[in-house]
Structure 1
Amino acid sequence: MDDEQRENEGDLICAAQFATPEAINFMATEARGLICLAMEGKRLDELDLPLMVDRNTDANETAFTVSIDAGIEHGVTTGISAEDRAATIQVALNPATRPAELRRPGHIFPLRARPGGVLKRAGHTEAAVDLSQLAGLSPSGVICEIQNSDGSMARLPELRSYADRWGLKLISIADLIRYRLENERFVRRLAQAQMPSRFGTFQAVGYRNELDGSEHVALIKGEPNALREPVLVRMHSECLTGDAFGSLRCDCRPQLEAALCQIEAEGEGVVVYLRQEGRGIGLINKLKAYSLQEAGLDTVEANERLGFPADLRNYGVGAQILSDLGIHRLRLLTNNPRKIAGLGGYGLQVEERVPLVMDPGAHNADYLAAKREKLGHLFESESPCVVLALAVNVGPESWPTIRLEVERIAQTHGFSLEALHEPRLLALWDRPQFVWKLIPDGGDAGPLLQSVAALAATERVGLMRVPTERMALHPPQTLERVEHQLNELIDMSSGGLIENGPSLLHWT
């Protein structure tokens, strides 16, 4: 069973060397999914089995190779029968088999496991290979997704019943990751030194990932082996353009600096600095993505145009670094809920999400909007506050007139206006031309909103009601964006706003 934030599916897994015709038939009739052969890359290279596609756009990066059948010299005919498929698997496992003995395409679908197994990719492919290796068997496994009898995917409740019915063990990939983390180490601590900075003095500890040679750093405030759990932690992915050069296209540097300041203020905590530039796509590809953003794409669309998923980051190395430091329970400094799920899969307990709040500048409102809408980032955020947003259908030459007219309307209804330009707020509202904080002077917002909505130039009007001004400038995750007609929001008997409505309203 994998993480419910990922595929949320269960697979039957069999050590490949025990894949008999009976086992294959059971998978075909009782699991009903695609029967695949998970193997190490070294063996697939020996068999000259390349990846099925050059550009993998699958959300989970499942690495299919070309499909295979064993040759007729091995007694395989059509390749589809349980006996033929079992034979093909055994031929592929045999060290003496040469590439010419396999026909392409076929009815067995090899999968290329990532080096490092589930510690590098929390997938069923890697789980099958890892389980076989841990059992002292050939590093390969046969896997098949489990479907219900109606063709839908079996989820955890159905999988529990399925395991009970057939006398099978049910484990999660998180269980396997936890076991490997407790019993294996791929990250080595190689150096440490005191590092004074303008944020405070930290202990810098250097690590090397033995799987790929990459180097990473933990910046520790406090005694490394005596940090009080849950520890305040920031898992920060390298951003050369932002962290070092101060790029205004992203909010990476402000997030890093805010994390260091917050940890310094608390007196202890850790920043794990991971060398995975550009959400994992690398520096050159990130610069290519910048070029695409100049042409009008957002940060997610640019990654996808280059053939990458929106987010390629992997937190297994960071989890091992925290484990090496003796940290298992943490308060995570992040606006990214996927990071919480990612670390949870590696046996760490995230007890609290601590939001990072900063105003990085007007250049990245579109970037923040894409992170909110497409990557699910949560932008959190001190007197009660009502914010009015107005999008108009006329050009910039008419905006001064509209601004004066709205100010006149506000004054008539007992309000003054304060213009707001915070990029997070603009991103939340899809960049309207005007955003104001309403400063009440005995007025009711209902008539004001009706008058603004009635302007000929009005295309879209928005309202946000939050308990603190800080929440308005840094909108929290609890805000609910709802489309309404204006008459749904106004109490027609009193003319005022309907009480106890959603915090965030948006209507035409």
Structure 2
Amino acid sequence: MPGSELRQLQSDGTRLPSFYSPRPEPPETPHNDADIEQADFSISGGNPASASDGDNAEDASPAQPATPLTQPPPASLLSPAFTPPSTPGTATPSAAGPAIPAEPRGIPVDSSIPTGGCGTKHPRLLERLPQVECIVRARIPTTTGAEMFLHLYKNDVDNKEHLAIVFGGNIRSKSLDAVREGETEMDRLVRGAYTGRLYPGRTTSGFPALGPPLVRIHSECYTGETVWSARCDCGEQLDEAARLMSLPGNKAGGIIIYLRQEGRGIGLGEKLKAYNLQDLGSDTVEANLLLRHPADARSYGLATAMLLDLGQKEIRLLTNNPDKIRAVEGPHREIVVKERVAMVPLSWKGKGGFRAPEVEGYLKTKIEKMGHMLDLGSLPS
């Protein structure tokens, strides 16, 4: 997307640099005690020109000459331009009226048969699933008006704090909701074992029914999510998963399992070495192998255990990686993936996103060497 399409005027007339997204509209603060299960998880307001497609961003700016910057722009928390500027939970209106977001289309899969759409590899599975416990949960309001619940987990295999980002109030953690000896109702409210929303004066927690969600297993990527790297599409995938899960039509909600396994499991330091090898001519798979690491060292047992704790036995999985389907199902198919929902780069769909030589090579390697289910013909020539 040309940088000129993303330059936005600030309130004082100065222009932000091209890599800044449009400034989001602040959500209105609710002033009632309605439970979150009854709330609309779509955006509560905002400028239509800041919708997720980002196609009309330039039209939203006043038609006037650019004001030269006389001083550096103020510090900003806005995301880079290649991140969907109004995620999660937005839709772009058209001349015919407000757009109705479509549910992401799923492809039926069955890992129990060779032709089930889950690839030909047989990933190594753990002999047992890890023991996990959700120790705290909190509501996270977002800059677009949608809301989510952040669950923090501990486990018995590492000392890392893995996360589940949950959309919708009907998805519950069994370990969080379990009554603990000697705790009060206030203890339960403070650690997040409640339904609906907290408000001043609330004294009880309560329990809801469970429902089937859309699920994304996402491995941490500091470079793609935090420092605007164009070597991968991880930041875009995280934002797009959140957008899909908070669409108004997605009544079942969604779960993003956020695993702290940077660089496909090799860690940030080794990942940066792999970047240097890529600049010397290797692809992502070759770079890992040259550093004496597997092409993909990630494990998904923690994800399986966390999903079970969240009450999920059958899921729709948002992924292009067929091997992830079998891996997430667990050693004894404790979870069954009923559908695979494709994660298509936004630039391929003509809905913003970004293009760069590095990310194009990264996607080609995923397709050609790792068996990811993306249409190679859709890649830019």
- Extract unaligned runs of 5+ from structure 2: 1-111, 173-208, 348-353
Q: Please state how far the C-alpha of 1:196 moved relative to its aligned partner.
A: 1.4
Q: Alpha carbons of 1:263 and 1:227: their partners in 2 closer, same or farther (altered >3 Å)?
A: farther
From the CA coordinates, give the structure whose radius of gyration is larger: 1
Give the aligned partner of residue 321 of structure 1. 306
Give 3-state SS (helix, strand or coil) of 1:202's partner: strand
Match of 2:132 among 170, 187, 200: 187
- Taking the TM superposition and a 5 Å limit, the aligned residue runs for 1:62-73 are none
* Mapped partners of 2:121, 2:343: distance in 1: 29
* Mapped partners of 1:318, 1:228: distance in 2: 18
Superposed CA offset, 1:430-456 (max 9, x none):
x4xxxxxxxxxxxxxxxxxxxxxxxxx
Give the aligned partner of residue 287 of structure 1. 272
Matched, 1:228 2:211: yes
Q: Please state how far the C-alpha of 1:209 moved relative to its aligned partner.
A: 2.0
Aligned residues: 215
* Mapped partners of 2:120, 2:379: distance in 1: 30
Q: Please state how far the C-alpha of 1:243 moved relative to its aligned partner.
A: 1.1
Give the aligned partner of residue 370 of structure 1. 365
* Mapped partners of 1:216, 1:254: distance in 2: 20
Q: Please state how far the C-alpha of 1:246 moved relative to its aligned partner.
A: 1.7
Matched, 1:205 2:151: yes
Match of 2:340 among 319, 338, 353: 353
Q: Alpha carbons of 1:316 and 1:3: their partners in 2 closer, same or farther (altered >3 Å)?
A: farther
Root-mean-square deviation over aligned CA pairs: 2.5
Q: Alpha carbons of 1:6 and 1:207: their partners in 2 closer, same or farther (altered >3 Å)?
A: farther
1:237–1:279 CA contact under 8 A, matched in 2 = yes
Q: Please state how far the C-alpha of 1:344 moved relative to its aligned partner.
A: 2.2
**TM-score, normalised with respect to structure 2:** 0.53
Give 3-state SS (helix, strand or coil) of 1:204's partner: strand
Which is strand-richer, 1 or 2? 1
- Taking the TM superposition and a 5 Å limit, the aligned residue runs for 1:118-157 are 122=125, 127=127
Counterpart residue identity of residue 379, structure 2: L
2:125–2:327 CA contact under 8 A, matched in 1 = no
* Mapped partners of 1:312, 1:201: distance in 2: 33
**TM-score, normalised with respect to structure 1:** 0.40
1:330–1:352 CA contact under 8 A, matched in 2 = yes
Give 3-state SS (helix, strand or coil) of 1:250's partner: coil
Q: Please state how far the C-alpha of 1:3 moved relative to its aligned partner.
A: 11
Give the aligned partner of residue 141 of structure 2. 196
The higher-RCO structure (CA 8 Å, 6+ apart) is 2
Matched, 1:247 2:229: yes
* Mapped partners of 1:375, 1:284: distance in 2: 23
1:356–1:380 CA contact under 8 A, matched in 2 = no
Give the aligned partner of residue 425 of structure 1. 379
Give the aligned partner of residue 374 of structure 2. 379
Matched, 1:272 2:272: no
Once the two structures are aligned, what percentage of the paired residues are identical?
A: 43
Matched, 1:259 2:262: no
1:331–1:350 CA contact under 8 A, matched in 2 = yes
Give 3-state SS (helix, strand or coil) of 1:233's partner: strand
Give the aligned partner of residue 330 of structure 1. 315
- Extract unaligned runs of 5+ from structure 1: 9-59, 61-120, 128-176, 382-386, 388-423, 432-508
Counterpart residue identity of residue 336, structure 1: N
Give 3-state SS (helix, strand or coil) of 2:256's partner: strand
Q: Alpha carbons of 1:209 and 1:380: their partners in 2 closer, same or farther (altered >3 Å)?
A: farther
* Mapped partners of 2:143, 2:305: distance in 1: 28
Q: Alpha carbons of 1:296 and 1:208: their partners in 2 closer, same or farther (altered >3 Å)?
A: same
* Mapped partners of 2:296, 2:368: distance in 1: 14
4+ residue runs over 4 A deviation: 2-8
1:195–1:204 CA contact under 8 A, matched in 2 = yes
Counterpart residue identity of residue 276, structure 1: Q
Q: Alpha carbons of 1:260 and 1:227: their partners in 2 closer, same or farther (altered >3 Å)?
A: farther
